[in-house]
A = this chain, B = another copy of it.
Amino acid sequence: MFVLGIDPGLSRCGYGCVEHGRKPRAVAAGVIRTDPDLDRPARLAEVQREVRALISELSPDVVAVERVLFQHNALTAMSVGMVSGIVMVEAVSAGCSVVEYSPNEVKQAVAGWGGADKEEVSQMVQTLLGMPERLKPADVADAVAVALCHVAHIPSRRVAGARR
């Protein structure tokens, strides 16, 4: 089973695809960037095209999206929410299951406690996936952490259905 984690954002939207098996394996990870000189609708359309291409290429079973909470910067949070909505409908259109996890749930699942900082999350992502280096930028590690959070929520009996 492939789980695509998304850390939504308009400037940088992190993605990380993990295969659920006896040991989780990173399949793809990266960041979608949009041109800050474009207006918001055009940037959202860029994200939509990239996410659609990504889902088409990776064929994830599940798309796990980090739930957007209200942050200090209200304008940023709203753009993040827009990206999140677009990711969800693209996933539904492609026939994927869609789940949302709060930042605390992601930190809890990956680092063991909901108050973990970005550094700890990034370190744990590296360890869990047995990678030689940290994933950068932080948005990529965060997206992979969202995917790993979903993997941690899958009942272990379902490992039998792992793909490949």
Show the binding face of A for B, using Cβ within 8 Å. 39-42, 44-45, 48, 68-70, 74, 77-79, 81-86, 88-89, 91-93, 98, 100
Contact = CB atoms under 8 A, between A and B. Distances in A.
- Copies of this chain: 2
* Overall SS of chain A's interface: helix
Contact of A45 (B40, B44, B82, B92): B92
A70 B98 CA distance: 25
A45 B52 CA distance: 14
Nearest to A75: B70
Contact of A40 (B41, B69, B88, B93): B88
Contacts of A89: 41, 44-45, 48, 86
